[in-house]
Every structure is written in C-alpha cells, then in structure tokens.
Homo-oligomer: A and B are copies of this chain.
Amino acid sequence: VSDFTEDDLVAMVRKLLGGEAVGVRLGAGDDAALVEFGHYLGILTTDMLVEGVHFERSSISPRDLGHKGLTVNVSDVAAMGGSPRYGLASIGLPDDVEMPWVVELYGGMLEAAADYGMSLVGGDTNRADRVVLSMTVTGEVDPGAVVTRGGGRPGERIVVTGRLGAAAGGLLLSRVPSQQMTGPVVEHGRELLAALTRPVARVGEGQALARSGATAMIDLSDGLAKDLGRLCAQSEVGAAVRLADVPVSPGLEELRDVLGADPLDLALHGGEDYELLATLPGEAVPAAAETLWEAFATRLTEIGEIREGRGLVAVAPDGSEGPLDPKGWDHFGG
C-alpha cells in the first residue's frame, strides 16, 4: 500500500509548481491552469512514456525520467521552429512508488522547464499498474516561421544536427553485464548513457534552421531512416542519404564489440536521438551550419538530398545505391 493519499500528492505537486511565472495567471491547484496565449500561432504536442516500454524504473533515475518526459515534448515544438511555453504532466503511479521518488520526478520536470524557459502549470496524478508519464507542451511560433514536415522539394539538401546513434548505444550498453564494464568501456559509455537518459531538445537550433530557410523539419525520435521516411511521405518526395556523411556518435566505434552493433546501423536506425533533421536549399546550408556552430556549438551536417518520386536510397562510399530500409523503433511492430 502506498504511503500517501491523492490529496497528499496534489498538495506536494502544488507546492513544487507554486512559483510565479510570466504568462501564468493561475497554475496548479484549480480545475485547470490559466495562461496567456500570445499573438503567435499555438503549438500543441503530447508524448507518453510507459514503464517497461520506454524505460525501466531500475535503469533511469526519477529525476532523469522527469527531465526526459518534458524534453521529448519540447523536441516536437523545436521541430516546428517554435518556442515551448507551458507544460502539463499526467502521471500514473503504482503502489510501490514512494513520495521521494515522485518529488524527484517533478524535480526533473522543473529542471527541464527551467532549461527550456517554460512553465509547468499543472496536471493530474493517478494510480496505475506501472509508471506512466504523459506530458503535454504548448508552444508558440510566428506564423511566418513555422516549419512542418511537408515542405521538402527535390534538389534540396538534407541536414542533421549533432551526431546520431548515441541513445541507441546507451540502451544496448545498459543491458551489458556489469563485469564487462571495465575502464575504457565506462569512459566511452558515460556519454552514451547520458544521451539516453538526458536527451537535449534543439529549440534554439530549430528556430535558427527556420530562419535559415529550412523547408521541412522533424525531430529524430524513432531513427534517421524512419523519421526521414515520414518527412518524405509528408513532402511527397524521395531522398538519398550518403552513408559516409552520416555523423556517427563518438564512442560507438570503440564500443562496437561490447555493444555487438554496427555504429552506422545505430546512427541510421537507433531512436531517441532528438536531433533535428531538416531540408534546405543547397545555397543556404553553409550559413545555417555557421549559425548553428557559432550560436549553439552544434554541428550541422549535410547527409544527402531530396529526390523526385518516392523511396529512400542509401548511397555507399563507392557511389552504388541501394534501398534504405526505414526500420526503426516501433512500439507496436515486431
């Protein structure tokens, strides 16, 4: 039996969310939160993290889980070129969760809200069999600066922020028996695990890409191949990816044997990187890359181009082409 009532929990959440924030007329504790919506276009997004599906309670701290729960939603706002404003958290908690765990969970959400300059304004707590964290984020964007998935045109370049595959490597690493976690593995492994437990939403980068002329954009939650496929489907185009140019996360090569996985495979098909993939006219790429590097120390890599027709193509270093299979993280498929 749990050691707190729903009202205890509500009171605790309220205390945690009690700070004043710009634009918040009324935060947690009433029937709903009251916020000021600006004169911008509104963005609404929601994402659910389920214990046993998206995370194991034994391998992520509640603080990291809370932080990640908000971050994955903010990443969707970033992928539209927008700014996150308000967050809501609906949480399901099993009997064996104790209050300090819940406090840490909210601590992580508040930390993420501070990271992204937004406010957590309320939510709902419930009993459940397993931990369920369902978060909603609203954002805003100037109508002229919106970037959807649907604007990619043949001949445009495909660019991606940061490096790929680290979160998938971290997931594999978290399953490696501890006796194999020797010095060099631990050293390279730390960054991979951090990518899994503390992803970063590319909010500033998304806005900079929008200003730099991005015609379509998506955040990489389910793997490059799968998410590029979604962008292409929306834009009604095909794409070619030069495999040699895909930016693979450092450490994956060194840990190839321990992880038992090909680094390029992790970069193409591993989920949860939350980097942004965008399409840009060729002439806009150098300036966009310079802006991202100077403003955010984030690298922008050109990895291929949009083509007429449909289908994804992988271009090998020798110039030969083959289909790029959009396998990726699928919560339902085999």
Contacts and interface: CB of A to CB of B under 8 A. Distances in A.
Interface of A: 1-2, 4-9, 25-26, 29-38, 40-48, 50, 52-54, 76-77, 79-80, 82, 86, 88-93, 121-130, 132, 134, 136, 138-141, 143, 146, 148-150, 217-219, 234, 330-334
Contacts of A150: 30
A331 B127 contact: yes
Contacts of A218: 31
Given A32-B45, A136-B136, A219-B31, A52 B6 contact: no
Contact of A234 (B30, B33, B79): B30
Contacts of A47: 90, 124
Nearest 7 interchain pairs by C-beta: A37-B37, A32-B45, A134-B134, A5-B333, A31-B79, A136-B136, A48-B90
A219 B31 CA distance: 8
A44 B36 CA distance: 10
Given A44-B121, A128-B50, A32 B332 contact: no
A116 to B, nearest CB: 14
B30 A80 contact: yes
Given A32-B43, A33-B43, A46-B90, 9 more contacts: A2-B332, A31-B77, A31-B148, A35-B41, A37-B140, A93-B332, A125-B332, A129-B129, A134-B134
A8 B330 CA distance: 11
B26 A45 contact: no
A126 B146 CA distance: 27
Q: A36, A91, A129, A334 — which one has the most chain B CB atoms within 10 A of its CB?
A: A129
Given A31-B219, A37-B42, A80-B32, A48 B132 contact: yes
A27 to B, nearest CB: 10
A201 B114 CA distance: 35
Contacts of A146: 25-26, 34
A124 B44 CA distance: 12
Q: A5, A32, A134, A330 — which one has the most chain B CB atoms within 10 A of its CB?
A: A32
A91 B149 CA distance: 23
24 contacts: A5-B330, A6-B331, A7-B333, A30-B148, A31-B45, A31-B79, A33-B43, A33-B44, A35-B41, A37-B38, A46-B134, A47-B90, A48-B91, A48-B124, A48-B126, A53-B92, A53-B127, A54-B126, A90-B90, A126-B331, A127-B332, A129-B130, A132-B132, A138-B138
Given A42-B35, A45-B32, A90-B47, A52 B129 contact: yes
A88 B32 CA distance: 15
A229 to B, nearest CB: 9
B122 A53 contact: no
